[in-house]
Chains A and B, each alone.
Chain A
Amino acid sequence: MTFVRPVFRHPESPKNALGYTKKFYEGALSTLCAGCGHDSVSGAIIQACFEMAVEPHKVAKLSGIGCSSKTPTYFLANSHGFNSVHGRMPSVATGAYLANRDLMYIGVSGDGDSASIGMGQFVHAIRRNLNITYIIMNNGCYGLTKGQDSATADFGSINKSGAANLYQAIDMVGLALELGATFVARSFSGDKDQLIPLIKAGMSHPGFALIDVVSPCVTFNNNVGSTKSYDYTREHIEATAAVDFVPIMEEITTEYAEGDTVAVQLHDGSTIHLNKLAPDFNPRDRHSAVSKLYQAKASGEILTGLIYIEPETRDLHSLLNTTSLPLNTLEKEVLCPGQQVLDNINASLR
């Protein structure tokens, strides 16, 4: 268990725009190993939701199976959650989204969950531009089944038993870019300053928002030689830019040095500010994103930050031309064609 939460809370702990304290966004106590990266990601989700002042009950959190997929229990206790089956969260989320387009969807998955057993569903959710913030807690191994290499483990990465991985890694960011994902980001569980704004931006994005988070497994894949350990990640991280997310209702208070900043306006009016950009990088250009990713890979770096965004995008409901009302609110009067129509149908079949 990572955190033993302090029982005492300051009575005047800060409140967000809805008047909720951060506690309102927390969940049950985590049962993950102390130091597990996933708990930090849960913490970042809590912080992002608190700061964004989302109504927790207007969020649905879905996951597959794995240590990572357990985390939705540990945040947003007032949201409905769905811990589905291994690798199949994207389909459950798709169905849920089809039923109610008004909720906000957070999908949590692991690298085993999304890059192996659930690869097909992951790919197709992107293809359909499902409106979801899809967080992969990526530790390069199967935590819950005791540390086997996953498909995102780098070639040659040494696992706990000392064996080097024989196979090439699947890079979920590269894959998502290739598939046409409209929001692609990578971060590190140990970098809250970067992760929190990315989650906020992902939640504001009206389509599939992938956040691949390197989230070390302290128990099975944090050893020397592992390329998903805390130390290795810290040493090899390369950020595209520092990210600052400014929601629509907030004034810009930070001062941005001219020339250093790119502001991306999101569909809902909020803005992401990206500082200290590499001069050759443009997050709205897929080519540029892909080449940056390859460059980083070639030099042994882990590229993080907002890698690609297409702010104006048509999500699944828009593609399907569904009614703007949530389908789950339609009543029989609207849904059932009635007796007269049936009489006509019967007549036409004689």
Chain B
Amino acid sequence: MLNDFVIRFANVNGTGSASANDMFAKAIFRMGIPVSPKNIFPSNIQGLPTWYEVRVSEKGYLGRREGIDIMVSVNPQSMPKDIANVKSGGYFIYDSTKELYKDFIRDDIHYLGIPMMQMCMDKFADPRQRQLLKNMIYVGALSALLDIEIEVLQGIIQQKFKGKEKLVTANYEAMEMGRQYAQEHFTCPFPEHRVARRDLVNDWIMMDGNSACGLGAVYAGATVLSWYPITPSTSLADAFGKYAKKYRIDPETGQNNFAIVQAEDELAAIGMVIGANWNGARSFTATSGPGVSLMSEFLGLAYFAEIPTVLVDVQRGGPSTGMPTRTQQSDLLIAAYASHGDTKQVLLFPSTPAECFSMMGEAFDLAERLQTPVLVMTDLDLGMNENMSPPLKWDQSKPYDRGKVFNAEQLEQMTERFGRYLDVDGDGIPYRTIPGTHPTKGSFFTRGTSRDEYAVYTEEGPAYVRNMDRLVKKWETAKQYVPGPELYQREKQSAFGMLFFGTTTYAANEARDLLTEQGITLDCMRVKAFPFSQEVQQFIDNHQRVFIVEQNRDAQFKSLIVNELAINPAKLTSILNYDGFPITADVIRQKIYEQLVGKLKPPFAEHEPGEPSESEVSE
């Protein structure tokens, strides 16, 4: 349909296809049409199949959708599967330098062969260029087939290779070759699957969540990053480094107003973060599930000793090494209760790059206000894809909230004894001091062992209990500070509610529309933080039945709800997806419909996994 289709590119990892594919998606975005590209990549550096899937949606649905209308295949390795995955009536565009096996022919789809490799061989001499520009040939062909404005593509190329005129020319040439070939050999554009300029993306941007988090940390005043490489969080640390080098180098001295250490492991990474925050700098780490497991002991220390700590968990498929390059929301429980003993950790759930950016600011403010770890729970889908997002917003007038910290003057004036863990204000949050502040006042001993209000070691039961109870009080206080949920309707419209968070939001919103079309109205709420605020409790109380949509096997979010709120679990129904692909609206619609009405007659599109299962894993 016009401005409504899914196109998938089947490439080989490490052949430069990513850049061409990005240009393709960007061009559609610049034509004012909502677009949502997703990388489906193997845990491999070079040689294995990788896919890039772009959903074009006039209605602005950014979640993944099943069913591939157009497949662009430049990877013979995955060809049989790729052909099988095309929707009936769809198109299969392939490199016809080599003839297609007869066995691969389906009679219900269209085949469009373009001798991409041959054209490159004839045109370009350099082998690496041949490989890279092959990708531009199909971009050119698609511009004709899908009616993408060529000037827009040219603009993107110019921007990308600014100052490298030779590259601009070569890319233009390759694109033009593909475009001409398509025009000469096929009916262009496609009758139904094509694009037409719109004005639907407003002032939105395209950005990956990891870059947004990295930039957010720069804006939030983080000065120390310690991290250990792990997919899918590595690019977050890289982004912080990139932006810090741009905006945080002292123009006069050339010295860095930041420090980045690639730690020896995640234990050391979080240890450094805790040490730096203890010493008054804003510091954070970025990791994924396996890293969070390793960081547990330290997270308990930061919780118990009350040290601000910021951690971004870009979740991937677990458990263990799991599916390192697939997405999930399956670290909720380990994050919420990270570490042994009675612990509860503050979590934030961004769902767009704009929120990744702003929530980094909130995370640091909360961590320092509450003197506790704050874990920003993103995922691979959000972190590693160029998501369409509202623009990044920053309230420049708002000072950093450094929380309750006594400075030298306050200590100087203090007549009573300083009590690091005294609940002075009755909100459970004590005052802290930063090392080096005052010669004789305010020093204390930070420890993970039990202590009294004055930070003195104690094994007295009552003192221990007082402290543990104060931490609960602080947890209650936290509920007022964490971002509240988003409601999608002004007032109650239905007896049924749907709760979701993070990247599930895209598909959930679409599912809600689809269900409305089928006569089922749902009230929706998006949760942005743990601990849950009173509104979450009310939302559940106010509905007869609530669907909780999440991307893990064990309904972890529901467990948190049941565990933390006073509600009847029988009211809650889980809608789950955990195959590593972003959840789709169809899955949600189907499952909710089945629950409320019964089995649907024409079944929805079956899930068609498109990745090889035998891939060599090396992460």
Binding site for B on A (CB under 8 A): 28, 55-58, 60, 62, 72-73, 77-85, 88, 90-100, 102-103, 120-121, 123-124, 128, 317, 320-324, 327-328, 330, 332, 334-339, 341-342, 345-346, 349-350
Contacts and interface: CB of A to CB of B under 8 A. Distances in A.
Interface stretch (B44-52, B69-77, B263-271, B470-478): B263-271
A100 B271 CA distance: 16
B256 A320 contact: yes
A345 B275 contact: no
Contacts of B447: 82-83
Given A95-B271, A321-B255, A323-B255, A79 B435 contact: yes
Contact of A335 (B205, B257, B391, B440): B257
Interface in B182-218: 203-207, 215, 218
B278 A95 contact: yes
Interface in B433-447: 433-440, 443-447
27 contacts: A28-B456, A57-B436, A60-B435, A82-B275, A82-B447, A85-B298, A91-B226, A94-B226, A95-B272, A95-B275, A95-B279, A96-B276, A96-B279, A98-B259, A98-B281, A99-B279, A100-B281, A100-B436, A103-B279, A121-B264, A124-B268, A323-B257, A327-B223, A328-B279, A335-B221, A342-B393, A350-B203
A339 B247 CA distance: 13
A102 to B, nearest CB: 7
Given A80-B435, A345-B392, A322 B278 contact: no
A269 to B, nearest CB: 23
B264 A124 contact: yes
Contacts of A320: 256, 259-261
Contacts of A55: 439
Given A91-B272, A95-B274, A335-B257, A79 B443 contact: yes
Contact of B271 (A80, A88, A330, A337): A88
B111 interface: no
A120 B29 CA distance: 48
Contact of B443 (A80, A124, A330): A80
A291 to B, nearest CB: 29
Given A121-B268, A332-B400, A345-B215, A80 B433 contact: yes
Contacts of B435: 57, 60, 79-80, 96, 100, 103
Contacts of A96: 275-276, 278-279, 435
B287 interface: no
Contacts of B616: none
A317 B281 CA distance: 15
Contact of A85 (B224, B263, B297, B434): B297
B279 A60 contact: yes
A83 B218 CA distance: 30
A120 B224 contact: no
Contacts of A327: 223-224, 257-259, 276, 281
B445 A88 contact: no
A114 to B, nearest CB: 14
Contacts of A93: 275
Given A103-B436, A323-B250, A350-B30, A94 B272 contact: yes
B332 interface: no
A99 B255 contact: no
A57 B255 contact: no
Nearest to A63: B447
Contacts of B445: 72-73, 80-83
Instruction: In the A-B complex, list the 5 residue pairs whose CB atoms are closest, starting with the nearest.
Output: A95-B275, A91-B271, A95-B272, A99-B281, A80-B435
A345 B214 CA distance: 13
Contacts of A330: 221, 223, 257
A147 B182 CA distance: 79
Nearest to B204: A350
B223 A335 contact: yes
Contact of A83 (B268, B438, B440, B448): B448
Given A77-B443, A323-B255, A335-B221, A99 B264 contact: no
A83 B449 contact: yes
B399 A332 contact: yes
A91 B263 contact: yes
A55 B243 CA distance: 37
Given A58-B436, A80-B446, A335-B248, A94 B253 contact: no
B198 to A, nearest CB: 15
Contacts of A99: 223-224, 275-281, 283
B264 A337 contact: no
Contacts of B204: 350
A328 B281 CA distance: 4
A348 B119 CA distance: 33
A339 to B, nearest CB: 5
B271 A121 contact: yes
B279 A128 contact: no
B131 to A, nearest CB: 28
A91 B267 contact: yes
